[in-house]
Structure 1
Amino acid sequence: MSNHSTKASESRRKGPVQLRREQTSQDLSDRSLLDNHDSAHFTHTDPWRVLRIQSEFVEGFGTLSELGPAISVFGSARTLKESAYYRLGEEVGALLAKAGYAVITGGGPGTMEAANKGAVEAGGTSVGLGIELPFESGLNEWVDLGINFRYFFARKTMFVKYAQGFIVLPGGLGTLDELFEAMTLVQTGKVTSFPIVLIGKDFWQPLIDWMRCTQVPGGMIAEADLDLLQIVDDAASAVAAVVEGSSGHLSSTS
């Protein structure tokens, strides 16, 4: 295989921009923002970067403002299509769509793709909020309404602002990041009546047990903080719980 054909398969997005071949070596926007210690360089670039960040919020707000009721679904990008978790994600997406909710995911592969697929096949609205990453393949084929972000914090705002709750399937660091951010926002009263439902007792219960046995006795969190979470084992229970819990959030924002 020629070097050109090998490079032709390389592709990633940089915000709304598609990069291929040699262009994929461009630095990540988040990394440029957080990792650059050249103060003189910062003086010249930060004002422009602020405008770019502002544009991401404007684009997100403008695109999603009329979305209607929605639930954000999280899980691993590494979930294989033959996995039980993938099938569970499809079922979650379909049941949410049938309940009248749009499905918001990170737009990537794995569980995110599964939830988007389930929503589309059930006739619902499928949303993907992508992020610029070094080895990222772009939005999955089941995303009907997609936005690509450069900055994690702008993207994370959209996950919470335009959803009435979270359903969280087994996942890795990104999934945990979204889970604990949601818990913090609810615990500190930044959002109200915001249900957080975890699917997979075998996966999640050890984490909850550690929090209860280590953090609670140490005074790091209160026992009541764990009541923010509901753990179930099937898609129907997850959707029922999040729909019931989201009713207060809908009325408080209407």
Structure 2
Amino acid sequence: MSAFQSIELKAAQRRYETGLLALDGVDLKVARGELVSVVGPAGCGRSSLLRLLAGLDRPSSGEVLRNGEPARGALSDAGMVFQEPTLMSWASVAVNVELPLRLQGVSPEKREAAARDALQRVGLADLADAAPRGMDRAQKMRAALARALVAKPAMLLLDDAFAGLEDASRLVLQDLLLSLWRPEGGTAKFAAVVVTNNVEEAVMLGQRIVVMAERPGRVVEEIKVTGTAKRDASFRDSAAFSKACEKVRAALARVSAPTETIAG
């Protein structure tokens, strides 16, 4: 498989067997190293969009392109983090993190070393041999991040992963994700698509914010976040951050506004 350069949806539609039209005519391209946030009203098909990007689902019509060519099957170089960490309670944290490498047939020695390195990067090195059932939600989410990144994927997909965390933990994990994506302001290590219901989180993480309309989901607006080349905790106090949040809220208000009925 050639090195990841981009993933793209072109006029992608997803209609489920029940007849539900979740997505209709979605155009979205994510290039190597980009960090993109996706927001929209409940039920707008954001999770369906992530599944198409990951190759876990196929569009009913339209195309999914990898590096400009039709994508076939699940992307082996994509990692996913869901709202629920879904860790195996009977296994240690390190064994949980090893799972993607185990499925790839990596030797026990190499996958153990890689898992412990990933846990070091997310600040859980001291809990490598612990059981997940003794961890709080924020720690479990760190472990889920380590598992998604252990195979060094070219693309990371997060489906409202930080929802349900208390505010302080959510901010810490946002900063952690940014440090993993672009260590110390250097070159981005992976592309990422972050689905979130939180406007501040979308702006904090995304270089651009994709706004989706109510079902059937489609991209109606893209907002570029400008004003800083360095994305760290101080960005939250900047004028650029506040301005971008206002733009996203206004866009969401437009797509969520009730349709007016004209009396005949």
TM-score by length of 1: 0.30
Larger strand fraction of residues: 2
Does 1 or 2 have the higher relative contact order (CA < 8 Å, sep 6+)? 2
TM-score, with normalisation over the residues of structure 2? 0.29
